[in-house]
Amino acid sequence: MSPAAPRTGSGFGRLLVTVYGVLAFAAIGRSSYELATKFSEAPVAYSLSTLSAVVYVLATVALAKGGPHWRVVAWVTVGFEAVGVLAVGAASVASPDVFGETTVWSGFGQGYGYVPLVLPFVGLWWLWRTRPRGAAAAAPEPAVPADPDPEVR
Amino acid sequence: MVLPLLIVVLLACAALAGWALWFVVQDRAVILKQLFGAAVVEGLVVVQAIVAGVLMAQGHPVDGPLFWGYVATALVVLPVAAIWAFAERTKWSSVVLAVAALTVGFLDWRLWQIWGAA
C-alpha cells in the first residue's frame, strides 16, 4: 500500500488500465464497424455497443489519470459496466434475441473471454483499495472516514 | 495474408511475451531493448498488412472494413502499450508488455480467420 496518494494507474493499476484500454479499442472497433456497415439491422444492439465503447474509453482514461475528479468518473463508469454486463448478460440469457444482435455484454461477455464480466469488479476492488485515506491514513479505521466523494459508492 | 508470415508474426509475439514474462518473474521493469523488440513485431504486422493489401488488390475477397479495423487495432496496441509500460518502472510494466504482445498475437490470429472467412 503506497503511503499518501495511491494512484489508480500505477503498479497493478498499470495492468488494469492496459486491459481496459484493449477492451476499449475492441469496443470502439466493433461499434464503428457496426455503425458503418449495418446499424439499421439491429439499432438497439448496436447503440448498446456504442454506449459500452464510450464507457470503456471513459473508464480507461479515468483510471489512467487518477486525480479526485477522475476517480469519481472511474467509479461511475466502472460501476456502470458492472451493472451493464450483469443486466445485458441476464437479459441475453433469458431471451437470446432481445436485442436483435449480440453485443459486447451478451452472454456476460462470453465473446470476449468473459473479460467484460470480470474487469469491472476488479476495477471496483482496485478503486476501493486505492481510495484516499485522509490525514489519519496510518490509523486503523477512523471513526469518521474522510471520504471525499461519499455520493459514489 | 500468407501462412509463413502469420507464423512469423505469431512466433514474434510469443517471443516478446515470453521475454516480458521472464522479466516479470525476475521482478524487473521493461528495458529499451524490449521496446526495439516490440518495434520489430510492429514492423512485421505492417509488412503483413502491405502483403494483405496487395493480395486484396489482386482480387482476394475479404470483409474490408472488418479486416482493416483489426489491422488498425493491432497496429495501435503495441506503441500505446509500450509508452504506457515504459513510464512505470516496476515489474508491472513487464506484465503490460506481455499482455500487449499476446493481444497482438490474438488479433493477428483473428485477422487470419477473417482473411479465410470471405
Q: Chain A contacts of B65, Cβ < 8 Å?
A: 33, 36-37
* Digit-coded pLDDT (tens) for A16-29: 999 999 999 999 99
pLDDT given at position A142: 46
* pLDDT at residue A139, as a whole number: 43
Residue A140: is its pLDDT beyond 50? Answer: no
Of the partner residues B88, B95, B99, the one whose CB lies closest to the CB of residue A10: B88
Q: Which residues of B touch A21 (CB under 8 A)?
A: 80-81, 84
Q: What distance in Å separates the CA atoms of residue B26 and residue B12, rounded to the nearest whole number?
A: 21
- pLDDT tens digits, one per residue of A27-43: 999 999 999 998 898 88
B73 touches chain A (CB under 8 A): yes
Inform me whether the pLDDT recorded for A137 exceeds 80: no
pLDDT tens digits, one per residue of B41-56: 999 999 999 999 999 9
Per-chain mean pLDDT for chain A: 85
Kindly report, residue by residue over A53-90, the tens digit of the pLDDT.
999 999 999 999 988 999 999 999 999 999 999 999 99
Residues in A touching B95 (Cβ below 8 Å): 14-15
Buried-state track A4-30, b at ≥16 Cβ within 10 A, e below 16:
eebebbbbebbbbbbbbbbbbbbbbbb
Q: Where are the domains of chain A?
A: 12-129
**Pick from A101-105, A127-131, B66-70: least confident:** A101-105
Higher pLDDT, A98 or B94: B94
Q: Does residue B17 have a pLDDT over 90?
A: yes
Calpha distance B82→B13 (Å, rounded): 14
Tell me which residue in B72, B92, B103 faces A14 most closely, judged by beta carbons.
B92
- Classified as helix, coil or strand, A72 is helix
Give the pLDDT score at A153. 44
Its pTM stands at: 0.87
pLDDT confidence band for A52 (50 / 70 / 90): very high
**Contact yes or no for B77 and A25 at CB 8 A:** yes
Say yes or no: ipTM exceeds 0.85: yes
Distance CA B100, CA A112 (A): 16
pLDDT at A101: 83
Partners of residue A14 in chain B, C-beta under 8 Å? 84-85, 88, 90, 92-93, 95-96
Domain ranges of chain B: 3-117
Quote the pLDDT of residue A7. 87
Closest by Cβ to B92, choosing from A11, A32, A33: A11
**Contact (CB<8Å) A22/B66:** no
pLDDT at B41: 98
Mean pLDDT of chain B: 96
Q: Give the pLDDT score at B118.
A: 65
Report whether A108 contacts A89 (CB < 8 A). Answer: yes
Q: Do A21 and B65 touch (CB under 8 A)?
A: no
The verdict on B83 touching A (C-beta cutoff 8 Å) is: no
